[in-house]
Amino acid sequence: MKQNETLSNIHLKDGKIILTEEEIDAAGDNHISTSVDTPMRAGAFDQSEDEKIAAIEERFAEIMDILGLDLTDDSLRGTPKRVAKMYVKEIFNGLNPANKPKMALFENKYKYNEMLVEKNISFYSNCEHHFVPIMGKAHIAYISNGTVVGLSKLNRLVDYFAKRPQVQERLTMQIAKELQKDLGTEDVAVLIDAKHLCVASRGVEDDTSSTVTAFYGGKFKDEKVREEFLRYLGLNTQF
Ligand SMILES: [Zn+2]
């Protein structure tokens, strides 16, 4: 989360971090993000889904061709279209705000004012620096201040933000900030434990490590509250 501290010579322009070419390479290799919001260009959704699929199909075919693959082969012929559809309609459909799940809120009738923990929410995402999978579990907790949210919505929210090119720190923050906004409380915690295939299948090729990121808002900044959360998760509080 303290990504700024790991970079030297931070240059800010209009509140955005400006990196040199070398720093951009290093940031990508070290999986450092430059903002909480997913960086989107202007007019990101001017094209329809079908237009995007057609454009990506064409370009993905070019990439395969450059790699030397024979696109007339029956097994490969359908791949560009398949990949394009998968990008737009499945694994990156969380880029489009139109796909954001509606968070129906309910009155907290039982006056349950203790911590609510939804743990082991499985998700699949993709690393924005290498476009290979990140997979893991998200654990979410909040303390209601009068409203509660349907439990399945927490899964859907994780899924929505996971279906973008991501870095784990940003995924953690985006889920937490959205929940804080929807529930009208600062008292939200999000912990993510995930495996990055760009670390496992390439680069340092470490197959056993996983990355843990956490966000603690409001009451969760209190050590006792945080420990209660981590106890529910069955995690050691040494994090
Ligand atoms: Zn990566």
Nearest to 87 by CA among 62, 64, 55: 55
Domain 99-232 has CATH 3.40.50.2000: no
Q: Mean pLDDT over residues 136-151, rounded?
A: 93
The question of whether 139 is a catalytic residue gets the answer: no
Determine which one of 23, 31, 57, 127 is catalytic.
Answer: 127
Ion ligand 1, residue ranges at CB < 5 A: 127, 129-130, 198
| 49-95 and 99-232 in the same fold | no
By mean pLDDT, which of 45-59, 60-74, 98-112, 166-180 is the weakest? 98-112
Nearest to 164 by CA among 9, 13, 11, 36: 36
The question of whether 128 is a catalytic residue gets the answer: yes
Give the model's pLDDT for residue 87: 98
Sequence ranges of the domains in the chain: 49-95, 99-232
Q: Residue written as tokens 């694994």? A: 91
Q: What is the pTM of this model?
A: 0.85
Q: Which CATH class is domain 49-95?
A: mainly alpha
Residue 181, pLDDT above cutoff 50:
yes
Residue 201, pLDDT above cutoff 90:
no
Residue 45, pLDDT above cutoff 90:
yes
Residues 190 and 169: beta-carbon distance below 8 Å: no
Residue 3, pLDDT above cutoff 60:
no
Residue 174, pLDDT above cutoff 60:
yes
The question of whether 127 is a catalytic residue gets the answer: yes
Q: Mean pLDDT over residues 64-88, rounded?
A: 98
The question of whether 49 is a catalytic residue gets the answer: no
